[in-house]
């Protein structure tokens, strides 16, 4: 019977237009599903990049804040209230805000300003590429990320990326680059500019309350979640561990933005298009071969064997199409999305889920044909 | 389970026996009786034609006798097995092992080579590919198409395609060969070449070749002719009566 599966494949491969249409449809479907999912995952990972860029153990925010990219200013005295909570090793203020920077050629660019506690620089970026983060304590000093340094960002007008020693303006104040760091892209796409907390307050337009967040560390040996809970209970502020804040942020994105539904719609459309194209093409392939299948049935091929042959045909084009689709997705990740825009985060488990989806598409496509063939009277071959 | 193995005691005797076969298509007002209690008999070792005007039920009877179409009433015994008592799967296995088919439109699979097309009945029986192809190659040689194993059906003329169909029908040494209008799509000379091959096939021990046709040019090849009209077999011609029937048919 294995030989009949080989015959089935030859029947399919011999019909080049149908074969390529099936493979093309499934490749397109696989590409659409996986590329969109990985871009979606990349985008979701941007929403929580703040926490990976600043690596604090406990994030304390105003009681109405739901996610990390949102700020509602607190009173400066809140830092001391957090410090006084039992189990807190230390707590420092953090400023974060979107400001306007002026490039050397006079253009305005939006930046994500982060003001780190001047004494400890707690929350500093993990990876410095150039310069010295400690120099943030000098007046008018900033550390920028690689995105900020690009010629189409703050380097605009220089004809080259910004380097250590270059200057630009933030709110009419000079900002001198003392270091360049590597960060993960922020959700809003703005480049990161780090300054000391005091310096950041000078760059930002003055408001009554300027404290955006408080970063805290539990005493050694204490459970981070427990300390966060104590802070919330004692201060009335919201304190999150990193996993808690990530979860809250993702929940906020799911419930407050159209991003997930938009991507999920495209992913589902990819699946539906796959079913529609491959189902229709495969069914028309079966219809065109009905007399041949009827002849095989007359000659003694049972429904089970014919169903198996159709499944082999369908799954073969499915796996080839999936391979091509995944290849194109990988190519997209390695070329178009190489610079991080659009976001792209490959997740291996989804590859298997997508393969399952394609197998399901193929099974559905084969099912249409199998139903038709099961009802086929072998006597059809005697009707001229 | 009813056995579908041929009854060896009846060799050289009755190959097919059908009694009171009724087959209707459609339902309600659209119900049409294609077979109205047809009786039929064919012997082993003979080339048997079923003839009659269009719409008389020839093809329906052939389909019922071949086990490709069930009947509503009556009994059909083929090679000692009561087809009407077998399950659908058993009838399928029976066809696979004991029946060879030749169709009016050849029904060769265009994307397969001649060798692969002819191998199919043996592959369906579970034969190893190498053995099936060796036998298929041999059969193609016997029908005059040796050396063309790797060609595809579309590269052949109608007559050559029908020869491939004959090779396919005979490759697994079936006891019954069912042919539906095997010459109707062919010119006279090619038609006679095809009938020579089928006539030779009918001479194999214990084999019966059953042909539905309304091509009087091939009546001369028959050992017996069953004449049908309005869903019934109305006459069976053999011996001297066969000669007279053929002459009358060819004159008209």
Sign of the C-alpha dihedral, residues B222, B225, B230, B233? negative
Which residues of chain B lie closer than 8 angstroms to A11, CB-CB?
109, 111-112
Instruction: Check pLDDT > 80 for residue A370.
Output: yes
Q: How far is B245 from chain A (nearest CA, A)?
A: 26
The most confident of A279-283, A321-325, A379-383, by mean pLDDT? A321-325
Q: How far is A309 from chain B (nearest CA, A)?
A: 12
Q: What is the distance between the alpha carbons of residues B245 and B243, in angstroms, rounded to a whole number?
A: 5
- In a domain, residue B242? The reply is yes
User: What's this model's pTM, rounded to 2 decimal places?
Assistant: 0.78
Q: With pLDDT > 90 as the criterion, what percentage of chain B qualifies?
A: 66
Q: How far is B239 from chain A (nearest CA, A)?
A: 29
At A380, give phi and psi (nearest 5°): -55, -30
Q: Which of A68-77, A259-268, B3-12 has the lowest mean pLDDT?
A: B3-12
Instruction: Check pLDDT > 50 for residue B1.
Output: no
- Concatenated DSSP letters for B68-104? SS--SEEEEEETTEEGGGS-HHHHHHHHHHHEEEE-T
Instruction: Check pLDDT > 90 for residue A349.
Output: yes
Instruction: Check pLDDT > 80 for residue A338.
Output: no
Q: What is the distance between the alpha carbons of residues A345 and A329, in angstroms, rounded to a whole number?
A: 11
- In a domain, residue B9? The reply is no
Better-predicted residue by pLDDT, A73 or A338: A73
Q: Which member of A7, A294, A381 has the closest CB to residue B120?
A: A7
- In a domain, residue B31? The reply is no
Answer for the pair A170, A100: CB distance below 8 angstroms, yes or no.
yes
Residue pLDDT, tens place only, B62-105: 999 999 999 999 999 999 999 999 999 999 999 999 999 998 88
- Mean pLDDT confidence for A212-228: 96
Q: Which residue has the tokens 């169909």?
A: B165
Instruction: Check pLDDT > 90 for residue A189.
Output: no
Chain B, nearest residue to A290 by Cα? B107
Q: How far is B14 from chain A (nearest CA, A)?
A: 22
Task: Among B61, B106, B107, pick the best mutation site for testing chain A contact (most A Cβ within 10 A).
Answer: B107
Contact of B162 with chain A, judged by CB distance below 8 Å, is answered with no
Answer for the pair A71, A97: CB distance below 8 angstroms, yes or no.
yes
pLDDT score recorded for residue B5: 43
Structure tokens given for B112: 């397969």
Instruction: Check pLDDT > 80 for residue A218.
Output: yes
- In a domain, residue B57? The reply is yes
pLDDT score recorded for residue A270: 87
DSSP element (H, E) containing B228: strand B224-229
Domain count within chain B = 1
- If you ran DSSP here, which 8-state letter would residue B13 be given? S
Q: How far is A384 from chain B (nearest CA, A)?
A: 7
Contact check, Cβ <8 Å, B101/A3: no
Q: What is the distance between the alpha carbons of residues A261 and A40, in angstroms, rounded to a whole number?
A: 10
Per the prediction, chain B carries an average pLDDT of 89
- Mean pLDDT confidence for A123-142: 94
pLDDT score recorded for residue A283: 87
Q: Which residue has the tokens 């007279």?
A: B244
Residue pLDDT, tens place only, A11-23: 999 889 989 988 9
pLDDT score recorded for residue A201: 95
Residue pLDDT, tens place only, B72-81: 999 999 999 9
pLDDT score recorded for residue B148: 93
Triad B51, B45, B92: Cα angle to 5° = 75
At A280, give phi and psi (nearest 5°): -70, -45
Q: Which member of A10, A295, A377 has the closest CB to residue B111?
A: A10
Contact of B54 with chain A, judged by CB distance below 8 Å, is answered with no
Chain A residues interacting with chain B (CB cutoff of 8 angstroms): 1, 3-4, 6-7, 10-15, 289, 291-292, 294-302, 305, 377-379, 381-384
pLDDT score recorded for residue B3: 40
Task: Among A11, A382, A383, A384, pick the best mutation site for testing chain B contact (most B Cβ within 10 A).
Answer: A382
Q: How far is A323 from chain B (nearest CA, A)?
A: 25
Which residues of chain A lie closer than 8 angstroms to B120, CB-CB?
4, 7, 296, 299
Instruction: Check pLDDT > 90 for residue A115.
Output: yes
Q: What's the CATH code of the domain at B144?
A: 3.40.50.300
- In a domain, residue B201? The reply is yes
Contact check, Cβ <8 Å, A300/B95: yes
Beta-carbon pairs below 8 A across chains A and B: 94
pLDDT band, very low/low/confident/very high, at A298 (cuts 50, 70, 90): very high
Domain that holds residue B117: 45-68+90-251
Contact of B204 with chain A, judged by CB distance below 8 Å, is answered with no
Computed on alpha carbons and rounded to an integer, the radius of gyration of chain B in Å comes to 18
pLDDT score recorded for residue B249: 84
Of residues A206, A211, A196, A94, the one with CA closest to residue A140: A196
For chain B, the 3-state helix, strand and coil shares in percent, each to the nearest 5, are: 40, 25, 35
- In a domain, residue B199? The reply is yes
Instruction: Check pLDDT > 60 for residue A324.
Output: yes
pLDDT score recorded for residue A275: 82
- In a domain, residue B240? The reply is yes
pLDDT score recorded for residue B68: 92
Residue pLDDT, tens place only, B146-192: 999 999 999 999 889 999 999 999 999 999 999 998 888 788 888 88
Q: Which member of B110, B112, B181 has the closest CB to residue A7?
A: B112
pLDDT score recorded for residue A383: 67
Sign of the C-alpha dihedral, residues B162, B164, B168, B170? positive
Residue pLDDT, tens place only, B6-19: 433 344 588 999 99
pLDDT score recorded for residue B8: 38
Per the prediction, chain A carries an average pLDDT of 91
Which residues of chain B lie closer than 8 angstroms to A302, CB-CB?
89, 92-93
Which residues of chain B lie closer than 8 angstroms to A298, CB-CB?
66, 68, 95, 101
DSSP element (H, E) containing A278: helix A259-288
Mention every residue, 6+ apart, whose C-beta is less than 8 A from residue A270. A28, A29, A30, A31, A32, A33, A36
Mention every residue, 6+ apart, whose C-beta is less than 8 A from residue B107. A291, A292, A294, A295, A381, B165
Triad A238, A240, A242: Cα angle to 5° = 160
- In a domain, residue B85? The reply is no
Instruction: Check pLDDT > 50 for residue B200.
Output: yes
Instruction: Check pLDDT > 90 for residue A150.
Output: no
ipTM of the complex: 0.87
pLDDT score recorded for residue B12: 52
Answer for the pair A317, A23: CB distance below 8 angstroms, yes or no.
yes
Contact of B224 with chain A, judged by CB distance below 8 Å, is answered with no
- Mean pLDDT confidence for A328-355: 87
Contact of B133 with chain A, judged by CB distance below 8 Å, is answered with no
Answer for the pair B136, B171: CB distance below 8 angstroms, yes or no.
yes
Mention every residue, 6+ apart, whose C-beta is less than 8 A from residue B147. none
- If you ran DSSP here, which 8-state letter would residue A206 be given? P
pLDDT score recorded for residue A306: 94
pLDDT score recorded for residue B11: 40
Of residues A305, A367, A297, A304, the one with CA closest to residue A2: A305
pLDDT band, very low/low/confident/very high, at B4 (cuts 50, 70, 90): very low
pLDDT score recorded for residue A155: 79
Q: Which member of B66, B105, B129 has the closest CB to residue A3?
A: B129
Instruction: Check pLDDT > 90 for residue B233.
Output: yes
Contact check, Cβ <8 Å, A295/B101: yes
Contact of B59 with chain A, judged by CB distance below 8 Å, is answered with yes
Residue pLDDT, tens place only, B34-48: 999 999 999 999 999
Computed on alpha carbons and rounded to an integer, the radius of gyration of chain A in Å comes to 29
């Amino acid at each position: 019977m294995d030989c009949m599966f080989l015959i089935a494949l030859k029947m399919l491969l011999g019909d080049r237009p149908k074969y390529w249409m099936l493979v093309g449809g499934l490749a397109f479907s696989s590409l659409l599903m996986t590329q969109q999912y990985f871009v979606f995952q990349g985008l979701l990972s941007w929403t929580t990049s703040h926490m990976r860029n600043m690596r604090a153990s406990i994030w304390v925010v105003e009681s109405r804040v739901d996610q990390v990219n949102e700020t509602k200013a607190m009173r400066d005295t809140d830092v001391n209230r957090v410090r006084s909570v039992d189990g807190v090793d230390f707590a420092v203020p953090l400023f974060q805000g979107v400001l306007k920077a002026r490039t050397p050629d006079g253009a305005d660019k939006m930046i994500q300003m982060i003001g780190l506690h001047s004494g400890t620089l707690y929350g500093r970026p993990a990876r410095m590429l150039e310069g010295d983060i400690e120099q943030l304590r000098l007046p008018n000093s900033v550390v920028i990320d690689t995105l900020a340094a690009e010629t189409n960002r703050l380097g605009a007008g220089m004809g080259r990326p910004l380097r250590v020693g270059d200057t630009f303006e933030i709110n009419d104040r000079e900002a001198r680059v003392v270091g360049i760091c590597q960060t993960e892209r922020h959700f809003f796409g703005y480049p990161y500019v780090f300054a000391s907390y005091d310096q950041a307050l000078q760059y930002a337009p003055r408001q009554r309350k300027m404290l955006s967040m408080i970063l805290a560390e539990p005493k050694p040996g204490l459970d981070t979640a427990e300390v966060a809970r104590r802070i919330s209970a004692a201060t009335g502020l919201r304190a999150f561990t990193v996993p808690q804040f990530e979860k809250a942020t993702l929940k906020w994105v799911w419930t407050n933005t159209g991003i997930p539904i938009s991507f999920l719609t495209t992913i589902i459309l990819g699946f539906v298009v796959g079913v529609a194209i491959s189902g229709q093409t495969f069914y028309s392939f079966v219809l065109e071969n009905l007399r041949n299948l009827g002849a095989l049935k007359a000659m003694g091929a049972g429904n089970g064997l014919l169903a198996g042959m159709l499944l082999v045909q369908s799954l073969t084009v499915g796996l080839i199409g999936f391979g091509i689709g995944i290849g194109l997705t990988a190519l997209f990740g390695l070329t178009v999305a190489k610079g991080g825009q659009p976001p792209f985060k490959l997740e291996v488990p989804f590859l298997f889920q997508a393969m399952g989806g394609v197998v399901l598409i193929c099974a559905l496509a084969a099912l249409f044909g199998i139903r038709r063939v099961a009802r086929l009277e072998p006597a059809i071959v005697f009707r001229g | 389970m009813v056995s579908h193995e041929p009854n060896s005691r009846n060799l050289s005797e009755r190959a097919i026996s059908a009694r009171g076969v009724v087959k209707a298509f459609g339902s309600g007002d659209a119900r049409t009786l294609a077979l109205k209690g047809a009786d039929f008999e064919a012997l082993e070792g003979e080339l048997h034609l079923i003839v009659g005007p269009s719409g008389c039920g020839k093809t329906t009877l052939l389909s019922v006798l071949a086990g490709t179409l069930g009947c509503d009433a009556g009994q059909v015994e083929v090679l000692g097995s009561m087809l009407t008592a077998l399950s659908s799967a058993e009838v399928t296995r029976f066809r696979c092992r004991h029946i060879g088919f030749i169709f009016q439109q050849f029904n060769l699979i265009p994307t397969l080579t001649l060798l692969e097309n002819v191998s199919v009945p043996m592959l369906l029986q579970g034969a190893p590919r190498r053995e099936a192809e060796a036998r298929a190659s041999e059969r193609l040689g016997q029908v005059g198409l040796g050396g063309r194993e790797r060609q595809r059906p579309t590269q052949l003329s109608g007559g050559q395609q029908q020869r491939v169909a004959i090779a396919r029908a005979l490759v697994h040494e079936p006891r019954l060969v069912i042919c539906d209008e095997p010459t109707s799509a062919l010119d006279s000379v090619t038609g006679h070449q095809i009938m020579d091959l089928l006539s030779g096939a009918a001479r194999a021990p214990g084999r019966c070749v059953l042909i539905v046709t309304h091509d009087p040019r091939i009546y001369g090849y028959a050992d017996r002719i069953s004449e049908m009209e309005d869903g019934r077999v109305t006459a069976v011609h053999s011996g001297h009566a066969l000669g007279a029937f053929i002459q009358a048919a060819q004159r008209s």
